[in-house]
Structure 1
Amino acid sequence: MKRLSKVAILAAVGLLLSSRAFAGNVDTYGIGAKATSLGGAYAAWADDPFALYYNPAGLAQINKPEVTLGFENVKPFLTVNSMSVEPLGVYPTPNPNSPIGVSPGGTSFGSFTDNSATMTIPNFGIALPVSKKLTLGFGVYVPYGLSISFTNSPLNPLSYDSYKSWYYREVFAFGAGYKITDNLFVGATINIGTTQSGVQRYAFGVPLATAQESAQTGLPLTSNAAVKTNLADDHNFSWNLGVMYKPTDWLTLGATYRSMTHTHLTGTAQVQYTNPLTASILNQQLSASTYVDAPDQFQLGVNIKPSDKLRFEVDWLWTRWSVVGGYTVNFSQPLFGLKSSEYFPRNWSDTNTIKFGIEYKPIEMLALRGGFYYDPTPIPSSTFDAQWPDANKYVFTGGVGLNFKHWKIDTDVFYSTTAGNRNVTNSQNLNAAYAIPGILPQQSTDINAKAHIWGYGLNVTYVF
């Protein structure tokens, strides 16, 4: 009873510290420092409370109650090497002091970077054996997300697509692992989630008046307007199923399926005109909603332990990003008085990722870990934009684990870098960002960009 009271107290502390969380990109860089340091190659390893995510069958390996609390810090660095808009010859807000070169028949923009903040992602987990065969688990974590910011200014060319965007899902996970035999385990997790999403951008040249109306009223023909959407789904669900098989002491096989998540996002859309002549009469506050599905995944792992000091794993991860074909944002009143909805094409592609992780223990209390994987982007050039600025990436991971009588301390560090520069020509979304309905057809855009992301994390675990 005393032991369970300690678990309950630590669970309450963990819930308070894990109340809000943000992730780094449209990825899971890792949940828990140990799995992150191994590059996420964990489906056949999964011997801590975050087996809830990686493979709930792994909970059955845990034979003593344990509580873990930690965080992951993520800092993205995105650089646009060059961008051009053709045949737009005049930039929407000319400024002689801005570093913009205007070429005949088009506009070219020099290099600029994002100003995204460092994001802190807390995590919390409990594993509680209730018999020799059954172990229960509970956790709070962020399976995926994105938060990207660029300069909030009409002089920033990407701001007409997005100068700030975020999308993340935080879950409360409940699961169990069960030993069918000494070498065959199964498990399941139920995830109750909340999803937050938003985009802030400028609408380029919203039509305000005809030439005749402009002459009569003094209103300009067009004006720029900031559009800010903030949407949420407070109750969504998903589930994970896992199986783990240990035919010998040196070999473990693991498989996990994570279900799709259906979200109905609702909230507000604000329209704020930049021209003071029109702001007082044309600013809008609208209700907005959309449906966005998060993909299901299948992960298969092979874990080999040739000696007590050395262990490594190779995983295959398949993600069905093709469920994100596009989404429509509906408004309670016509946006700008022109359209009752906006459609954003995505046409994302399924991805296959091979992950590798290794651990070496020179002494019993010390574990040295490393990992690597190549992460292909699901986002095609035809629908690339600043809201989801993803690219093919190389990800390198490492970390250290310390084991004491009742305490475990795990650390991780990771570095992700794009596989060269990404060049995108004529993205549907970027082209449409420079259109003025009825006045200026959509333009032809070209962008060349690169990125890298640093992250580090820590988990402290108490074993009862």
Structure 2
Amino acid sequence: MTCTATTSLAIATAALVAARIAAAGGLVVPGMGPQAQARAGAFVAKADDPTALAHNPAGFAKLDGTVAFIGANFVRMALAFARTGAYEDLPEADEPYEGLPYPEVESHPSPSPGIGGFQAVPYVAVTTDFGHPQWPVRAAIGLYSPQGYAARAFPETVTVAGVDAPAPQRYDVFEQYGQVAHPSVALAYAATPTLSFGARASWGFARIRTRKVVWAIRNYEEWIEKDSVTTIRTTDPFIPSFGLGALWSPSPAWEFGVGYASAVHVRSKGTVRSQPGSAVPAGNANLIPIDDEFARCAPGGVEGALKICLDFDLPQTVHAGGRWIARDAGGRERADVELDVKWEQWSKAGVTTTTTDAIAANGPLDVARIRHGFIDVVSIRLGGAYALPVAQRAVQLRAGVAWDTKTAPLSWTRVDQDGKPRATLATGVAYTADRWRIELGGGYVWEPDRTVPDDCKPPSGPTRDDPGCQPGGVETPVADRSRPDPAQPLTGANNQIESPFNAGTVRSHYVLLHAGVTAWF
């Protein structure tokens, strides 16, 4: 097969993967920054340190002087998949693993930056009153990243009957890594002693790398020699977004906050490469780079590395909450309890489009649209803190619980993205001296096992004679399908072959850690 043909096999794959990475984790777990993580994300009304940058920029109005924060959350995901069924008979080969059940596979990535499988999620921010604490304005600058876990690293082969067999999750993902960060500036304004407003502007950037398998040709029996392994690398150096916030303190014992974060529109560019199996016919496709003057994505594509644009969105969110505050005789905060509700509009972030600068025999490739089946997420978060009556209340204990609804229905469950519902338990401790504070803690995110039923007929899935999942082997129209099929780049978007691959059980959970230092100047 020619280089121009093999490159074509990556087109649909990139579309399927990119949104998963950027959104990975509904896909984030609660609590950006150490204090918010320790409270399981119940922080929109508290918002009293520089990490308010991402939660509620109105919180900066509480801070006098110059306050600097540096820290990180650390997230590790345990992920395993046991696919239902067995390796199918191969009419064109004779392999020892035919007819044997699929083994369970686990993901063991090495994210960067990270250590020991933990993804480091850095956070740096500084806020100031410009040396005038009586002014109603505060400014801030910083950098934050979503608290998610994009990394995946599954095996490419597994041992079955003493030989190497293709990994059962290969149509979902082999390997994926993504880094996203949001440099930001913000302003807060205290309109009255009890009412403050804030705004944030961010210019994010993203880098994505992934490997997975697509169907090079029709491959109901899933013979690896009819597959193609695809590698995608894309970047987006400028991802603008913004946030708004408000705080209202009607009395010393009560405080209410609301934060809004805009949708994030990722428009990444990069290249795709592919390695086809030995049974893929030469001349199965003949893609060549489009002339630079007609490029719709980017100029500079070459045979073996076509230019591709991946466009997808992350949702707008609204986060609101209130807290009750207990104070000592001097008016200092002794304890608080906060209850928050957050809404994430994932239903508007479920489509990825791809534009590939290439020409096939019948002309330039069309723009492709890929669905993910996402739905809106609602989370409830309860957290608080208590200052121990020792060392002038310099030691503060924190804890929180949260529940997030699912991002993906059961039938769309996959291992390249985490759409499960989840419960978060978190805790932490902080020690405050005269001009600095140190914070440590962690948590655990429980997720239920999800088993996608093997209800696509005939029993071993579609075949050439019975090509669909409906009664009688009738294919389901593409727009009506509720489960993922292997990517088929050489088939039109409205003619994708039905052959869902995600039946089985997905097991997963997260472990959280955090550390940070705050200093007052």
Q: TM-score, normalised by structure 1?
A: 0.82
Aligned to 1:318: 343
Aligned to 1:50: 51
Q: Deviations over 1:312-364 (max 9, x none)?
A: 10000001111123212222226999965554211311111000112111131
Aligned to 2:438: 409
Q: What is the correspondence of 1:59-208 to structure 2 with a 5 Å cutoff?
A: 59-84=60-85, 88-90=88-90, 96=96, 102=99, 108-117=101-110, 118=117, 119-130=119-130, 131=132, 132=134, 133-143=136-146, 145=148, 146-153=150-157, 155-206=166-217
Residues 74, 40 of structure 1: alpha-carbon distance in 2 compared, 3 angstrom cutoff: same
Q: Deviations over 1:401-452 (max 9, x none)?
A: 11001110011202112124343556755433599969x9532441211101
Measure, in 2, the Cα distance between the counterparts of 1:442 and 1:72: 41
Q: Deviations over 1:275-326 (max 9, x none)?
A: 4998999983211112101100001010111344321100000011111232
Q: 2:379 aligns with which of 347, 353, 360?
A: 353
- Please tell me the residue identity of whatever aligns with 2:208: S
Q: Report the CA distance between 1:44 and its aligned residue.
A: 0.4
Contact 1:83 1:110 (8 Å CA) reproduced: no
Q: Is 1:288 the equivalent of 2:288?
A: no
Q: Deviations over 1:6-39 (max 9, x none)?
A: xxxxxxxxxxxxxxxx997230442211111011
Q: Is 1:421 the equivalent of 2:446?
A: no
Residues 444, 53 of structure 1: alpha-carbon distance in 2 compared, 3 angstrom cutoff: closer
Q: What is the correspondence of 1:412-451 to structure 2 with a 5 Å cutoff?
A: 412-423=441-452, 425=454, 430-433=484-487, 441-445=497-501, 446-451=503-508
Secondary structure of 1:157's aligned partner: coil
Q: Report the CA distance between 1:380 and its aligned residue.
A: 2.1
Q: Deviations over 1:178-232 (max 9, x none)?
A: 1111111111110111123343111235369xxxxxxxxxxx9963221111122
- Please tell me the residue identity of whatever aligns with 2:384: I
Secondary structure of 2:53's aligned partner: helix
- Please tell me the residue identity of whatever aligns with 1:126: V
Measure, in 1, the Cα distance between the counterparts of 2:483 and 2:102: 18
More displaced 10-residue stretch of structure 1: 58-67 or 115-124: 115-124
Cα RMSD after superposing both structures: 3.4
Residues 37, 336 of structure 1: alpha-carbon distance in 2 compared, 3 angstrom cutoff: farther
Secondary structure of 1:35's aligned partner: helix
Aligned to 1:270: 273
Secondary structure of 1:193's aligned partner: strand
Contact 1:92 1:204 (8 Å CA) reproduced: no
Aligned to 1:301: 321
Secondary structure of 2:347's aligned partner: helix
Q: Which runs of 5+ in 2 are unaligned?
A: 1-21, 111-116, 158-164, 287-302, 329-333, 457-480
Measure, in 2, the Cα distance between the counterparts of 1:435 and 1:193: 30
- Please tell me the residue identity of whatever aligns with 1:41: A
- Please tell me the residue identity of whatever aligns with 2:511: W
Measure, in 2, the Cα distance between the counterparts of 1:336 and 1:72: 50
Residues 223, 355 of structure 1: alpha-carbon distance in 2 compared, 3 angstrom cutoff: same
Contact 1:144 1:168 (8 Å CA) reproduced: no
Q: Report the CA distance between 1:95 and its aligned residue.
A: 5.2
Measure, in 1, the Cα distance between the counterparts of 2:384 and 2:242: 28
Aligned to 1:462: 519
Percent of matched pairs sharing the same residue: 20
Measure, in 1, the Cα distance between the counterparts of 2:33 and 2:91: 46
Q: Report the CA distance between 1:172 and its aligned residue.
A: 0.6
- Please tell me the residue identity of whatever aligns with 2:99: V
Secondary structure of 1:36's aligned partner: helix
Measure, in 1, the Cα distance between the counterparts of 2:309 and 2:336: 48
Q: How many residues are treated as equivalent by the alignment? A: 425
Q: Deviations over 1:53-94 (max 9, x none)?
A: 1111100000121111111221111111333379x5449997
Measure, in 1, the Cα distance between the counterparts of 2:277 and 2:102: 22
Q: Report the CA distance between 1:102 and its aligned residue.
A: 1.6
Q: Which runs of 5+ in 1 are unaligned?
A: 1-21, 209-219
Measure, in 2, the Cα distance between the counterparts of 1:381 and 1:334: 38
Q: Deviations over 1:237-271 (max 9, x none)?
A: 11111110001101000011111112211111111
Aligned to 2:38: 37
Contact 2:338 2:384 (8 Å CA) reproduced: yes
Secondary structure of 2:388's aligned partner: strand
